[in-house]
């Protein structure tokens, strides 16, 4: 894989990850006349929960569902410059033009009952392919492997930035999820704090380790692999299963069989193996209702500076589609009290996914 770093017209960084052997040198210039990127984001701490909330009002003006011919994530063509100056690419990552967090965020730091500060961090967009009408599940394993390397690269780069405490790669897909750009892409957030979900998991992992002397995810893997009723796929290095206490009507966890804190810690063999197994998972997810499943794919990895001995890297893929034509809406219990009620049993979902056709032939 070849890595090339360039700069867009407004100073944002763009990085090309090329796996095509004869890919040209990435020398195209961004010819757009762009205004300076807005970075007026702010964070405030809720005194009742201790959680940080990001305020980014400038994102109200971000691009919203453009026609395919004006997609900002497609390669540039004569007379139609986009966020990617090149006429073709393999995988590309660039700074979000409408970031929730930025290294350039400024503002007053105010302590007190509700602490306030600038939204220091970074937000990036990752395009998995230059093909507008395809999806992640249709990529070849070699391209998924490149994406894994790019995720690991960005985890290291963002984690080294001032103020970044946690790096979160994720993909949103589907209108039902709220995606505003249909081109196959994901995002990477560099947060200026440890997220509430991660803090909760680390606290539980620490409690479990202190009581039993073993990592909780290790025992979960042993339970799932021995029971088998919720397992979708097993390989030498990974296990994909429906968690026993799944919150969502469709939910799959893809977990490495050894404890690693984050994506950069994966071995070459583990990265190769993931590329094959994850495509099998996505094929079954899209085969479940014989349509592209709207989903969120979220990497849970260790924060930059805390809990690295407790964290166990894993990917959570979930969907709000509870039947072929019905959505799960977060009702009062989930939204108001964070108490989940799932209409689908994990065992039934796992059986249906195992029986589902592999939509992409895997």
Q: How far apart are CA 1 and CA 21, in angstroms?
A: 8
- Confirm if 16 and 89 have CB atoms less than 8 A apart: yes
Q: Which two tokens stand for residue 119?
A: 């939204």
Q: Is 253 annotated as a binding residue?
A: no
Q: How far apart are CA 187 and CA 169, in angstroms?
A: 6
- Confirm if 84 and 136 have CB atoms less than 8 A apart: no
Q: Is 183 annotated as a binding residue?
A: yes
Q: Identify the DSSP state of 293.
A: P
What is the three-class DSSP state of 87? coil
Buried b (16+ CB within 10 A) or exposed e, 73-108: bbbbeeeebbbbbbeebbbbbbbbbbbbbbbbbeee
Q: Is 123 annotated as a binding residue?
A: no
Q: Which two tokens stand for residue 104?
A: 């350039």
Phi, psi angle pair for 42, to nearest 5°? -140, 150
Q: How far apart are CA 186 and CA 48, in angstroms?
A: 32
Q: Is 71 annotated as a binding residue?
A: yes
Catalytic residues, which ones?
Answer: 185
What is the three-class DSSP state of 191? strand
- Confirm if 63 and 72 have CB atoms less than 8 A apart: yes
- Strand 231-234, strand 238-241: pairing: antiparallel
- Confirm if 231 and 282 have CB atoms less than 8 A apart: no
- Confirm if 214 and 335 have CB atoms less than 8 A apart: no
Annotated binding site for Zn(2+): 71, 74, 132, 183
Annotated binding site: 71, 74, 132, 183
């Amino acid at each position: 894989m070849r890595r090339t770093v360039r700069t867009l017209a407004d100073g944002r960084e763009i990085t090309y990850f090329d796996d095509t052997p004869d890919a040209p040198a990435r020398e195209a210039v961004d010819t757009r006349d762009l205004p300076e990127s807005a970075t007026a984001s702010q964070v405030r701490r809720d005194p009742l929960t201790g959680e940080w909330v990001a305020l980014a009002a400038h994102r109200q003006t971000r691009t919203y569902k453009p026609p395919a011919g004006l997609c900002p994530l497609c390669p540039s063509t004569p007379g139609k410059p986009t966020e990617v100056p090149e006429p073709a690419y393999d995988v590309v990552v660039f700074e979000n033009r409408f970031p929730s967090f930025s290294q350039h965020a400024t503002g007053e730091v105010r302590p007190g009952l509700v602490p306030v500060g600038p939204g220091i961090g970074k937000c990036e967009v990752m395009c998995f392919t230059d093909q507008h009408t395809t999806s992640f599940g249709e990529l070849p394993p070699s391209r998924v492997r490149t994406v894994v390397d790019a995720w690991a690269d960005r985890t290291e780069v963002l984690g080294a930035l001032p103020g970044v405490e946690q790096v979160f790669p994720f993909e949103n897909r589907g209108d039902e999820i709220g995606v505003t750009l249909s081109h196959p892409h994901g995002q990477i957030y560099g947060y200026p704090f440890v997220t509430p979900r991660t803090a909760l998991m680390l606290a539980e992992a620490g409690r479990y380790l202190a009581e039993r002397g073993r990592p909780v995810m290790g025992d979960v893997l042993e339970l799932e692999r021995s029971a088998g009723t919720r397992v979708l796929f097993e390989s030498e290095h990974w296990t994909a299963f429906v968690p026993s206490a799944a919150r969502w009507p469709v939910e799959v966890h893809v977990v490495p069989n050894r404890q690693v804190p984050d994506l950069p810690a994966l071995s070459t063999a583990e990265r190769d193996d993931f590329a094959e197994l994850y495509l099998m998972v996505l094929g079954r997810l899209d085969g479940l209702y014989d349509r592209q499943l709207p989903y969120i794919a979220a990497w849970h990895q260790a924060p930059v500076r805390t809990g690295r001995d407790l964290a166990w890297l894993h990917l959570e893929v979930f969907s709000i589609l509870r039947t072929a034509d019905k959505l799960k809406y977060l009702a009062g219990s989930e939204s108001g009290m964070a108490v989940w009620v799932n209409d689908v049993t994990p065992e039934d979902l796992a059986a249906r996914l195992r029986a589902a056709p592999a939509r992409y032939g895997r």
